[in-house]
Structure 1
Amino acid sequence: MNFTIALQLIIPSFALSFLLTIGAKFLAPHLGFIDSPSCDRKKHSCPMPVLGGAAMMMAFCVGVLCSYQISPFIKQSLSANGTFVITVLGVAGLFCVLGTIDDRYGMRPLVKLFGQLLCAIPFAVYQTQVSEIQFIDLIFSAQWLGPIFGLCWIILCVNAFNLIDGVDGLAGTLATVTIIAVSVLAFGQINMPVALLSIIAVGAILGFLVHN
């Protein structure tokens, strides 16, 4: 996949995220989606609208749909891994809904953690695979460990980004760098679905970061 195709993947999600974030900034105060600065984690200087996650999620979904029209190769790569694509979109959507509810009404930590576990279960069960674990010369069969590892890893990553989301642009910038690294690794392993979805996600995040 060349640079031109990468741009074609990024541009739709970037443009839509940019436009939807404008709408989200307008609607957020009217719907009560406002985050006020505090003395602990939230370091922004004034109250901020918090519907950006929903804007990025919608842009990501539309970007994935648009990607099917870019080239037969991309369409074939995603179609052949339809279960993976649907699982990613579904789980991301569940996390988006959970985060939106938390932004509006607030959740107790344990309630939020329980919700995160429920959101992560579909991906952890159906898309996480660990066949074996090797320790020095000992090899253990660990197929049962895959879902547990996947669940813990997803929850760890989600909450790590939650903890750094108090400074404007920090979480989005780190997410962009991380996802670019994931896409490069995926290309190196010829894992096209992960690489393609990662590039589309980068576009959605960058469209939001312009306003952040």
Structure 2
Amino acid sequence: MNLLTSIIEEGYGTILLLFPFLLALITAFLAFPTIIFIAHAKQLVDVPDKRSVHSKTVPTLGGIGIFFAVAIVLTLSGAFLDAKLLMPVVGALIILFFLGVKDDILILSPKKKMLGQIIAALMVILITDIRILTFSGILGIGELPYFVSIGFTLFVFILIINAYNLIDGLDGLAGSVGLLVSLFYGFLFFKMQEMSLTVVSLALVGALIPFLYFNFSKVRKIFMGDTGSMVVGFLLAFQSIAFIHLNQSNPISQFHSNAPLLVLAILFFPLLDTLRIFYVRVVIYKKHPFSPDKNHIHHQMLQIGLKHWQVTIVIAIASTSVLISSLMFQDLSVNLLLLVIILSGIIMFSLPFFINYSVFNKRFKMNKLLRKLHVISYSKAK
């Protein structure tokens, strides 16, 4: 039993967990102004193009501040918590950090980024042995053989990292999703008394709050960049897989049989957007799946007239609704619960477009009626 666990069992855990959160928060708040200043001085900024939703040059090195805040917290926590769990995560983040910085400054090929993600994910999977053990009967699939388990866990890591990267196209969207997901995982890990994982969640929450402050700023704006999307995406994937692993390893845990489905509900938006964008690009437009465009769900919401902050709020509400649906119906069989999550997710994320279509139709009919009344009144006047 380590020192921190002993202190937590004495009843001081909640107060003590404020320290990693506050350390990440303060570190990030102090780091971002310096990063923004250097980025402008060295012209390390994003220049707007036809795909951009901003009109001014903006630094893209926000991931540096997020990385340093999280890395400092995890490194210091490793002395008191589970170093075997936290140190491989820090090592993986260092790999992704250097890949991301190079991509933000010089552009890195997708193959090299993918290779780096695979190495980082495999390092954590093999050292910590945190992996998806079973499909829990989803689609009739049960326990996975060891190497299949490693391969599938690696696939989930890469999927979540790149799904998160794809939603980073709007002020506050990626940061808000990362914040909400980490808050929820932090709550669950704390309830499960997994303090090392709770610290991972709180460190990311503490780093993302200052990022969102500057990301929404009109004067000192900064973007997450590929560094940030890979670092945050990796941490979200790690938390997701750790949550699944812990519940599948414990037969009496609350989410033993449906942990993968709860993760699906938590990450429904980035996964839905990834599936949709790949379909649009590959099947409809016959393009490369990673070719940039403005066909993301958040871009479509902007086109129907919503503002940046409104899109973020709509997506947050829809995501929360999907999660609540999964919790309400968690006693269903896994395949029925899977169906509930998919249907509720599609309905919630389609709702803004149906509402907009309905409003548009009413306006069109009203304008048509007013034109008729105008013609009638004009002819009577003559």
Contact 1:13–1:207 under 8 Å retained in 2: no
Look up the match of 1:157: 160
Alpha-carbon separation, structure 2, partners of 1:188 and 1:151: 27
Look up the match of 1:11: 22
CA 1:29–1:126: 2 relative to 1, 3 Å:
same
Look up the match of 2:137: 135
Alpha-carbon separation, structure 2, partners of 1:106 and 1:180: 32
Alpha-carbon separation, structure 1, partners of 2:160 and 2:211: 20
Structure of higher CA gyration radius: 2
Deviation per residue, 1:75-99 (Å, 9 max, x gap): 2xx1xx2111001111112111111
1:24 to 27, 35, 38: 35
Contact 1:124–1:147 under 8 Å retained in 2: yes
Look up the match of 2:46: 35
Q: Residue 201 of structure 1: CA displacement? A: 1.5
CA 1:173–1:135: 2 relative to 1, 3 Å:
closer
Alpha-carbon separation, structure 2, partners of 1:3 and 1:192: 10
The alignment's TM-score, normalised by the length of structure 2, stands at 0.48
Contact 1:124–1:148 under 8 Å retained in 2: no
> Bigger CA drift: 174-183 or 114-123?
114-123
Alpha-carbon separation, structure 1, partners of 2:100 and 2:15: 34
Alpha-carbon separation, structure 2, partners of 1:196 and 1:96: 20
2:198 to 195, 198, 202: 195
Q: Which structure has the higher relative contact order (CA within 8 Å, separation 6+)?
A: 1
Q: Which amino acid aligns with 1:33?
A: L
Cα RMSD, aligned residues only:
2.4
- Percent identity, aligned pairs only? 27
5+ long unaligned stretches in structure 2? 1-11, 216-382
Look up the match of 1:82: 83
Write 1 or 2 for the structure with the bigger share of strand.
1
1:107 aligned counterpart, secondary structure: coil
Contact 1:130–1:142 under 8 Å retained in 2: no
5+ long unaligned stretches in structure 1? 70-74
Alpha-carbon separation, structure 1, partners of 2:78 and 2:143: 40
1:168 aligned counterpart, secondary structure: coil
> Bigger CA drift: 4-13 or 198-207?
4-13
> Bigger CA drift: 123-132 or 162-171?
123-132
Alpha-carbon separation, structure 2, partners of 1:8 and 1:110: 39
1:44 aligned counterpart, secondary structure: coil
Contact 1:169–1:209 under 8 Å retained in 2: yes
CA 1:99–1:68: 2 relative to 1, 3 Å:
closer
CA 1:26–1:154: 2 relative to 1, 3 Å:
same
Q: Residue 38 of structure 1: CA displacement? A: 2.9
Q: Residue 168 of structure 1: CA displacement? A: 1.7
- The reply to whether residue 209 of structure 1 matches residue 212 of structure 2 is yes
Q: Which amino acid aligns with 1:98?
A: L
> Bigger CA drift: 182-191 or 46-55?
182-191
Contact 2:75–2:90 under 8 Å retained in 1: no
Q: Residue 156 of structure 1: CA displacement? A: 1.3
Alpha-carbon separation, structure 1, partners of 2:136 and 2:75: 40
Q: Residue 124 of structure 1: CA displacement? A: 2.6
Deviation per residue, 1:136-177 (Å, 9 max, x gap): 887545222332122112211211121111212211111011
Alpha-carbon separation, structure 1, partners of 2:168 and 2:17: 28
Count of residues in correspondence between the two structures: 202
User: Residues 48-127 of structure 1 correspond to what in structure 2 (within 5 A)?
Assistant: 48-67=58-77, 75=80, 78=81, 81-127=82-128
